[in-house]
């Protein structure tokens, strides 16, 4: 999709493509590098260059970005004595090693602007000032070290640090946010430009959270204001959001990412946002001479109104007339002329006489997405299923006399960790209640291999607990608790010491009689059997015995498989998973991501039901679809759909650029 996405960005007036560099993807094991396929960073940058655009390479290598573990590879966790993102020798060694690897790779391909390439900026670290105070005196030392380390790699182009007001010279401090024209304190040195590395076009969405809609008018207002205040660079975060395939999202973040961006998840134009910003970009570029070479002045033209004027010696002039009144139209006087400004808007006068553009006046027609059903998977004989065995204590060779931390135990090889134990009550336990406390994200509880109940936390809470009435048998009872992570944390200080998983487990028989299993002999199993056998791969399907779908009520932890043909045409494709509850999907061995339809928003809606299947993943016929369902979803209601656009009030749909 790279070529098409870059082309649409260029058509929208974008000059620079900014990308993070994902340490966990490119160095999955220490010293083992992967730049193949979707991870081919050089190929991506050369595609940008081929289309005549520039690159900002945000190496980080901490990136946050709602990406699992903030982009760190999990092996970093086990480096002796390591503390991330501070004046810590083990961390600095690996950070410098990876940063140097990326810079040298770019140099070897001649990709820096100093070599005639497209990379005009690099970023080191990411929003560090948010956590700097937690590291006390070691924070500022680390900032200076990181800046010096980057500069000494001699890329020949500037380095930036976002949200770092004290970025050491010559590294440029930049702004992130939605209103940097209002919030940015400016460069910390007169020889640095005013730059905005993240203009949030909407906001990321979490399971259980509603989407955040930011209007085209609001984005345009703040872009124009930043330019009026001598801003020289604005990057949209995100211009195209895309899809978090596999297990790449951070904690609770949905698989769809920044779908409200000017280019939506599928790479389709989101109008009027894309078109309105395109018009603004054209307007600003047409005024480039006075903006770059003119002298700026600003003065009041009303109680909530301001004029910013750039005038060049040859007479070239541009004016930005700002109305900060969000409630009403205002008529202002400027250079002996009257101009009416819409509420919360900026009028741009490219000759200081005629108002040609107003940020609040949108002329681009809105569009909407149309989902067209192409296939229902509603026939029982289309599907086969394989049920996971529920492990008990005797099945597990990994043992501990305490509750192990989830992430350290799984090493991020799986979302899933089984905690199991066996016990026999000493006396009668008439109304037992299982109490579980967890700092993970989801818990599924089983007693004697029978599913009892599931519970979960949320993005805004730290941990959760469950109290579940259970039934015990006479004799030995096997308790199996599945702890599930939905992405690793991506931000905050001391990421290396975060705790997840079960923290307390008891069975209460009466008010006075409680069995506490917190410090008890536990058995552990990392991951699910189907994951270990990779039953989502064609060559591994025969590793397990698939059977016809049964109609029992106990459907938890079931794998389903079927095949399908690709819809004709080139419209984007999505699976509608609204009949499922929680799990993951694979198409032709490629993970489409996690789904969690059963986690509803405050308005009672799933956060996401449509899951993007890129056409490049598909064959014309015989595509393998494998679904892991954790709870009780119904695969017979899954459907395959194409996605297209239609102009509002227009019968004609399109999914390419409009003429």
Decide: 610 and 658 in contact? Cβ < 8 Å.
Answer: no
Q: How far is CA 425 from CA 62, 430, 451, 478, in A?
A: 49, 11, 20, 12
* Main-chain phi, psi angles of 182, to 5 degrees: -100, -30
Q: How many CB atoms lie within 10 A of CB 563?
A: 12
Decide: 573 and 618 in contact? Cβ < 8 Å.
Answer: yes
Q: How many CB atoms lie within 10 A of CB 459?
A: 17
Q: How far is the C-alpha of 364 from the C-alpha of 264, rounded, in Å?
A: 17
Decide: 423 and 517 in contact? Cβ < 8 Å.
Answer: yes
Q: 64, 66, 125, 127: which one is catalytic?
A: 127
Q: How far is the C-alpha of 179 from the C-alpha of 185, rounded, in Å?
A: 12
Q: What is the DSSP letter of 376?
A: E
Instruction: Classify residue 658 as exposed, middle or buried by CB count within 10 Å of its CB (0-12, 13-18, 19+).
Output: middle
Q: Which residues contact 288 (CB under 8 A, 6 or more apart)?
A: none
Please give the structure tokens belonging to residue 351.
């000759």
Taking phi over 0 as left and psi of -120 to 50 as alpha, with beta for the rest, 487 belongs to left
Decide: 67 and 490 in contact? Cβ < 8 Å.
Answer: yes
Please give the structure tokens belonging to residue 294.
């003119």
What stretches of 244-323 show up as alpha helix (H) in DSSP?
273-286, 288-293
Q: Which residues contact 123 (CB under 8 A, 6 or more apart)?
A: 56, 57, 58, 59, 60, 159, 160, 161, 162, 197
Annotated active-site residue 109? The verdict is no
Rg of the chain (C-alpha set)? 28
Q: How far is the C-alpha of 34 from the C-alpha of 38, rounded, in Å?
A: 10
Q: How far is the C-alpha of 288 from the C-alpha of 220, rounded, in Å?
A: 17
Q: 27, 47, 198, 531: which one is catalytic?
A: 198
Annotated active-site residue 47? The verdict is no
The H helix count followed by the E strand count for the chain is 11, 34
Q: How many CB atoms lie within 10 A of CB 541?
A: 17
Please give the structure tokens belonging to residue 48.
């940008």
| Closest listed residue to residue 593, CA positions, set 566, 618, 619, 613 | 613
* Main-chain phi, psi angles of 338, to 5 degrees: -100, 140
Q: How far is the C-alpha of 441 from the C-alpha of 459, rounded, in Å?
A: 9
What stretches of 450-577 show up as alpha helix (H) in DSSP?
529-533
Angle among Cα 512, 518, 522 to the nearest 5 degrees reads 130
Angle among Cα 519, 520, 524 to the nearest 5 degrees reads 110
> Which residues are identified as catalytic?
127, 198
């Amino acid at each position: 999709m790279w070529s098409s996405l870059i082309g649409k960005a260029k058509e929208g007036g974008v000059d620079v493509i900014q990308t993070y560099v994902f340490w966990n993807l490119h160095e999955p094991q220490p010293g083992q590098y992967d730049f193949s396929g979707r991870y081919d960073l050089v190929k991506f940058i050369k595609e940008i260059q081929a289309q005549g655009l520039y690159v900002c390479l945000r190496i980080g290598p901490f990136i946050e970005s709602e990406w699992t573990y903030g982009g760190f590879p999990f092996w970093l966790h086990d480096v002796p004595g390591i503390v991330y993102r501070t004046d810590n020798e083990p961390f600095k060694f690996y950070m410098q090693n990876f940063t140097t690897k990326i810079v040298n790779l770019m140099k070897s391909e001649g990709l820096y602007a100093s070599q005639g390439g497209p990379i005009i900026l690099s970023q080191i670290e990411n929003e560090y000032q948010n956590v700097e105070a937690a590291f006390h005196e070691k924070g500022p030392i680390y900032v200076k070290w990181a800046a010096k380390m980057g500069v000494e790699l001699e890329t020949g182009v500037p380095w930036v640090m976002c949200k770092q007001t004290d970025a050491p010279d010559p590294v440029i401090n930049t702004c992130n946010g939605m209103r940097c024209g209002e919030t940015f304190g400016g460069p910390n040195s007169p020889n640095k430009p005013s730059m905005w590395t993240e203009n949030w076009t909407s906001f990321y969405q979490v399971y259980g959270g509603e989407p955040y809609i930011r209007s085209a008018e609001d984005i345009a207002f703040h872009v124009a204001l930043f330019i009026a205040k001598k801003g020289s660079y604005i990057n949209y975060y995100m211009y195209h959001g895309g899809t978090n395939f596999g297990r790449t999202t951070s904690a609770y973040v949905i698989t769809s990412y920044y779908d409200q961006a000017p280019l939506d998840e599928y790479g389709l134009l989101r109008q009027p946002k894309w078109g309105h910003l395109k018009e603004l970009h054209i307007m600003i570029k047409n005024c480039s001479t006075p903006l770059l070479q003119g002298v700026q002045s600003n003065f009041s033209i009303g109680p909530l109104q301001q004029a910013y004027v750039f005038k060049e010696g040859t007479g070239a002039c541009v004016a930005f007339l700002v109305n900060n009144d969000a409630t009403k139209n205002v008529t202002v006087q400027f250079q002996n002329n009257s101009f009416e400004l819409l509420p919360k808007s900026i009028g741009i006068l490219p000759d200081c006489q005629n108002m040609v553009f107003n940020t609040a006046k949108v002329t681009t027609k809105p569009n909407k997405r149309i989902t067209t059903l192409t296939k229902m998977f509603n026939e029982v004989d289309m599907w086969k299923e394989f049920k996971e065995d529920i492990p008990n204590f005797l099945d597990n060779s990994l043992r501990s006399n305490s509750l192990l931390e989830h992430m350290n135990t799984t090493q991020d090889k799986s979302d899933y960790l089984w905690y199991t134990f066996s016990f026999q009550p000493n006396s009668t336990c008439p109304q037992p209640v299982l109490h579980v406390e967890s700092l993970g994200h989801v818990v599924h509880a089983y007693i004697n291999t029978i599913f009892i109940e599931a519970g979960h936390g949320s993005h805004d809470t730290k941990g959760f607990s469950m109290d579940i009435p259970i039934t015990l048998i006479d004799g030995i009872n096997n308790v199996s608790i599945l702890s599930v992570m939905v992405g690793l944390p991506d931000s905050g200080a001391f990421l290396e010491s975060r705790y997840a998983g079960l923290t307390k487990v008891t069975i209460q028989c009466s008010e006075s009689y409680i069995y506490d299993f917190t410090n008890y002999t536990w058995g552990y199993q990392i991951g699910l059997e189907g994951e270990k056998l990779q039953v989502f791969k064609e060559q591994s399907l025969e590793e397990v015995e698939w059977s016809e779908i049964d109609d029992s009520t106990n459907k938890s932890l079931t794998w389903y498989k079927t095949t399908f043909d690709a819809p004709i045409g080139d419209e984007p494709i999505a699976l509608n998973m609204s009949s499922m509850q929680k799990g993951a999907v694979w198409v032709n061995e490629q993970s489409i991501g996690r789904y969690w339809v059963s986690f509803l928003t405050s308005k009672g809606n799933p956060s996401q039901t449509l899951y993007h299947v890129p056409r490049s993943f598909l064959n014309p016929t015989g595509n393998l679809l494998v679904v892991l369902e954790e709870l009780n979803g119904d695969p017979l209601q899954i459907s395959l759909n194409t996605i297209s656009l239609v102009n509002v009030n227009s019968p004609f749909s399109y999914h390419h650029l409009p003429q």
